[in-house]
Amino acid sequence: MRFSIEALVGMIFFSFIVDYLLHKHYKELKEETPATFSFPFGAFWHYSVPAIFVLSFIIFGLLINFAASPGVYVYFQWFITVYLFIYLPKFIYIFTYKMTHNAIKVKNKFEPNGKIKKMNDGRYPKISRKKFLSQIGIFMASLPFVSLLFGVMKGRFNFSVKYNKLAFPNLPKAFEGLKIVQISDLHLGSLNSNYYEMEEAIRIINAEHPDLICFTGDLVNNFAEETIGWESVFGKLQAKHGKYSILGNHDYGDYSKWATPQEKDANLQGVKDAHQRLGFQLLNNESLTLTKGNDTIAIAGVENWGHPPFPQYGDLAKATKGIENIPFKLLLSHDPDHWDSEVTIDYDYDLTLAGHTHGMQFGFDYKGFQWSPAQYKFKRWSGLYREGHQFLYVNRGLGFLGMPARVGMPPEITVIELTQGAISNEPM
C-alpha cells in the first residue's frame, strides 16, 4: 500500500469542497451566518476538520513509505474508516439536496405554478421546501453510514461461497469431478489478530472436501512479520492433492523504502518461507504435474504480472517449460490483466485463477447483476470469464486492504468443479 500524491490531492479537493458546500448550505438554510467559532456549524469547524484530515493523510503517507513494521497499516485502515464515516454521509447529503433542489427548479420552470404540496392538512406543522429537502438529504446520508457500519461490523467476515462447474473436452477421465477451492488476497497484516473469524473460513473450505486448494497471492500487505501466528489457522486447511500458492504484488515489499537491498530480499524470503509454514507449495514461475492412474494434468504458477504501476516479475515461458504437451493445464496468476495481455494470446491454459481486485470491497451483486467501481479499473474484476476454450476466474479475496470493511462485496471462497465434456460452464 502506497499513498500517492494523486490520492492526497484528490482527498484534499474532495474534503474542502464538501465542507465548503455544507457551510454555504447551512447559511442558506438558516438564512444567517453562524459565528466563526460556534459548534458545529461555524466556519472554524467546517474548515479545521478537513485540515486535520489533510495533515493526518500527509503524516500517514510518510509513515507508510518508510514503515519498518506492519502496525502503521492497521492504524491507517482505521483512520480511513473514520474519514469515510464522516465524509461519505456529508457528500451524500449535499449531493441529494442539490440534485433534488435542481430537479424541482427545472420542473417549476416548465410548470410555472408547480409547487411541492405542503405536507400539512391542518393536523401537522407546516414544513418549508428547504427543510423538506434537507430531511431527504439526511435520510439518504444515513444509508452510506449504516452500510459502512455493517461492512465493518459484519461484512468483512461475511464469507461468501461461489460455485462453478466447468466442462472441458480435454480433461483426462481420471480427473472427472476434480474440485478446486480458490482463495486470494489474505492481507494478513490487515486481519491483524482476527484468528477466530478466519477459522470460520477454514471450516467452510474443509467442509467442501476439496481436491486442490489454490491461493492466488497477496499473503501480506508488505512485511513477512504479518504472517506470524497464522500457522495454527491455515495449517488446518485440508486438500487431497495439495495446496498451491503464488505471490501477489504486495508480497515483494515494494511499498516501503528499505535500508538496504539485502533487507528487502530477506523480507521477501520470509514471505516465501511463510507459504511453506502455512502449508502451501509456492509456485514461482514454475509448474508441476498431478497424476492419477495413466492420466496427468499440470498446475503452473507465475510471479506477479500486471500493468504499471504493478510489477511484472512473472515469467510464463519459464513456468510453462516442460508441460507444453500436458492435455489440461491450470494456471495461477495474481493479476487478471495478465490473462488478456499474455495468457490467451500465446498460451493454451484451460483455466486461469486470479485475484487482486477485491471487487474494491464495495459494490452490488444480486441475481446475476454485478457492479463495482472495480469495473472501471479492471477489464476482468470478478467472477468467470471465457475467451474461446479458455476460462478465467477472478476471486474477490478473503481479506481486506485500505479499510477494514466490505460493503456488497463479501470475502469470497470459490469452488470450481471440473468435468469432462463439451466446453461449458454451469452452476453447481
Can you give the chain as a three-state secondary structure string?
Answer: CCCCHHHHHHHHHHHHHHHHHHHHHHHHHHCCCCCCCCCCCCHHHHHHHHHHHHHHHHHHHHHHHCCCCCHHHHHHHHHHHHHHHHHHHHHHHHHHHHHHHHHHHHHHHHCCCCCCCCCCCCCCCCCCHHHHHHHHHHHHHHHHHHHHHHHHHCHHHCCEEEEEEEEECCCCHHHCCCEEEEECCCCHHHHCCCHHHHHHHHHHHHHCCCCEEEECCCCCCCCHHHHCCCHHHHCCCCCCCCEEECCCHHHHCCCCCCCCHHHHHHHHHHHHHHHHHCCCEECCCEEEEEEECCEEEEEEECCCECCCCCCECCCHHHHHCCCCCCCCEEEECCCCHHHHHHHHHHCCCCEEEECCCHHHHECEEECCEEECHHHHCCCCCCEEEEECCEEEEECCCCCCCCCCCCECCCCEEEEEEEEECCCEEECC
CB-CB contact of 247 with 334 (8 Å): yes
Measure the CA–CA gap between 221 and 73, rounded to whole angstroms: 8
Asked whether the CA dihedral 323, 329, 330, 332 is positive or negative, the reply is positive
- The tens digit of pLDDT for each residue in 323-340 reads 999 999 999 999 999 999
Residue 30, C-alpha cell as written in the block = 438558516
User: Do 179 and 417 touch, CB atoms closer than 8 A?
Assistant: yes
Judge residue 260's burial from the number of C-beta atoms within 10 Å of its C-beta, 0-12 exposed, 13-18 middle, 19 or more buried.
exposed
CA distances (Å), origin 382, targets 5, 82, 338:
28, 27, 14
Per-residue confidence band for 141, with pLDDT thresholds at 50, 70 and 90: confident
Average pLDDT over every residue of 192-219? 96
Kindly report the number of other CB atoms within 10 A of residue 39's CB atom. Answer: 9
Mean pLDDT of all residues in 35-46? 70
Beta-bridge mates of residue 287: 300
Distance CA 110, CA 180 (A): 61
Q: For 167, phi and psi rounded to 5 degrees?
A: -110, 135
What is the rounded distance in angstroms from the CA atom of residue 300 to the CA atom of residue 286?
6
- 272 by Cβ neighbours in 10 Å (0-12 / 13-18 / 19+) ranks as middle
CB 336 within 8 A of CB 376: no
So what's the pLDDT on residue 3? Answer: 55
Judge contact between 414 and 182, C-beta under 8 A: yes
Tell me what the mean pLDDT of segment 42-63 comes to: 80
Q: Which of 176, 132, 157 is nearest to 399 (CA)?
A: 157
d(CA 318, CA 50): 50
| Measured distance CA(166)–CA(177) in Å, rounded | 10
* Domains of the chain, earliest start first: 5-153 (no CATH), 158-426 (3.60.21.10)
Asked which of 57-71, 74-88, 171-185, 305-319 is least confident by mean pLDDT, the reply is 57-71
Are the C-beta atoms of residues 61 and 8 closer than 8 Å to each other? yes
CA distances from 340 to 217, 305, 345, 355 (A): 19, 11, 7, 14
Q: What φ, ψ does residue 301 adopt, rounded to 5°?
A: -135, 135
C-alpha cell at 301: 504458477
**What per-residue confidence (pLDDT) applies to 100?**
77
Convert the pLDDT of each residue in 107-136 to its tens digit: 565 555 544 444 445 554 555 666 666 677
What is the C-alpha to C-alpha distance for residues 383 and 370, in angstroms, rounded to an integer? 10
Confidence of residue 301 (pLDDT cuts 50, 70, 90): very high
* CA–CA separation, 246 and 287 (whole Å): 11
Cell numbers for 368, please give them. 446475476
pLDDT tens digits, 242-257: 999 999 999 999 988 8
More confident residue, 343 or 6: 343
**pLDDT computed for residue 56 by the predictor:** 87
pLDDT value of residue 73:
85
Helix axes 129-153, 71-110, angle to 10 degrees: 150
Exposed, middle or buried, 223 (CB in 10 Å: 0-12/13-18/19+)?
buried
